[in-house]
Structure 1
Amino acid sequence: MKKQNSKISDVIYYTFVAAFGFVMIYPILWMIMSSLKPEVEIFGNAASLVPGEFRWDNFSRGWEGFGGIGFDVYFRNSIIVTTLVVLGTVASASIVAYGFARINFKFKALLFGCLMATVMLPVQITLIPQYILFHNFGWVNTFYPLIVPAFLGGQPFFIFLLIQFIRGIPRELDEAATIDGCNKFGIFYKIILPLLKPALVTVVIFSFMWTWDDFLAPLIYLNNAGLHTVTLGLRNFMDADAGTNWGALLAMSSLSLLPQFILFAFFQKYLVEGIATTGIK
């Protein structure tokens, strides 16, 4: 009787999970399938996922881009910005986190409190001061405002995540390395950094996704269409006067999700491990 009740509960549970998962993924499925539909069918028969006629030319027309700039330019710009931001975030956030977690220095508690306060600080508050600063540097309409801040401290959220992970690493390893002649940098590079792999993969995935999907910062700082990222490139397809090419827009939107799917598929195991071991569940 207990086995039968257990099987029934399992069936109910997995049915609910499958139904809920389908509801969550339905918008993505609709976007991908609609990218293969003729434009009149996209909204004329929106409820149907299966195209009445497959239009593969939506991808070719979308790849041609807008205003004489191909979509390959937008992909290239996004790859450059995202790669450098991820590298800068991993390098700077890991060093800062190590300092807070392992090194005692003056005003440490005060600075950590300021760090935690910036986690709750809306990005809109610092938008105008940052723009004025970068404008005075002559960096507007370049990639510098998007890339350089990542090398100067990274995201406070990532620093906090890495601090929590480092605190779970036994200090006895540091003491053993000190006895063997390692200095602070040697302990970080040879002991802490290799053990940070799960947390660093988590940082890489989130940093990649947030930077790749960022629309506001490129919109503010990049005026030249040749410097636009994928998010701005998708926005360029929407024209109130000439009309929106929905087929090409949905095709490129589907294609823009591919790098994130690939990254998540390869590093999903480390993502779960990194979040679980830092106590952020």
Structure 2
Amino acid sequence: MSFKPLRKAVFPVAGLGTRFLPATKAVPKEMLPVVDKPLIQYAVDEAREAGIEQMIFVTGRGKSALEDHFDIAFELESTMQERGKSLEPLEGTRLKPGALAYVRQQEPLGLGHAVWCARDIIGDEPFAVLLPDDFMVGEPGCLKQMVEAYNQVGGNLICAMEVPDEATGKYGIITPGRRDGALTEVKGLVEKPKAGTAPSNLAVIGRYVLQPEVMRILETQGAGAGGEIQLTDAMAQMIGNQPFHGVTFDGVRHDCGDKAGFLHANIAVAFGREDVGPSVRDFARAHLDG
């Protein structure tokens, strides 16, 4: 069975990044680097690997650096060429004309509202949602794993990862049905359940493949947990009307919305790099031994 191809992805990047102040006072949190590449670049690279053709950034005030990052920097490139430097480090920042679209979320009304802001660009196509704070490391990438599952079962998919029971109150949690390898049928979703009430320990992580009908639900949806328009609530209304599955990610997730998680990501990526790995490992060993 074939399904409408997945060509578009939404990146909700309007958040203020207050957890990382003062670093994010003038720099978007999505531009914070993991070693030498900003978080948003990793997310865009992941989407491109999965076959996404159009990236839709839902931005806010003070986010112009995101647009500049994926633009052509004539002065920089010409200076590098004059000095005989390779432009290879900039390759991932140059996308095809029209491959990026930007829309403003004018009020911080929640993830569901941010996704809804992209409705006119999405139209009647299925689409992915990637939250750059969730830094996903795997081979293949997380979204590609989900697209491969989508090509088998269609419908809606969410990235699922097991979390400790005491952490379920921080996530959207899946009420699981039948399981088949990495695929879990989603019978229900609950946003940040109170301690002891979670239907499982399968948490929803920041990657989604959704059908366009979710936009019509978000159109009239009221505020949920935290006084915000929750994407989880809208997805829950689609369960039973369309196929809905969780895809357990085969890889490692770093929560880069958290300071410790961001540092973990930097260390993990540095360890795996040939250029900086040996030096960073030696530094870590010296300080751990001390």
Structure 1 length-normalised TM: 0.21
Structure having the higher Rg: 1
Higher helix share: 1
Higher relative contact order (CA 8 A, sep 6+): 1
Structure 2 length-normalised TM: 0.21
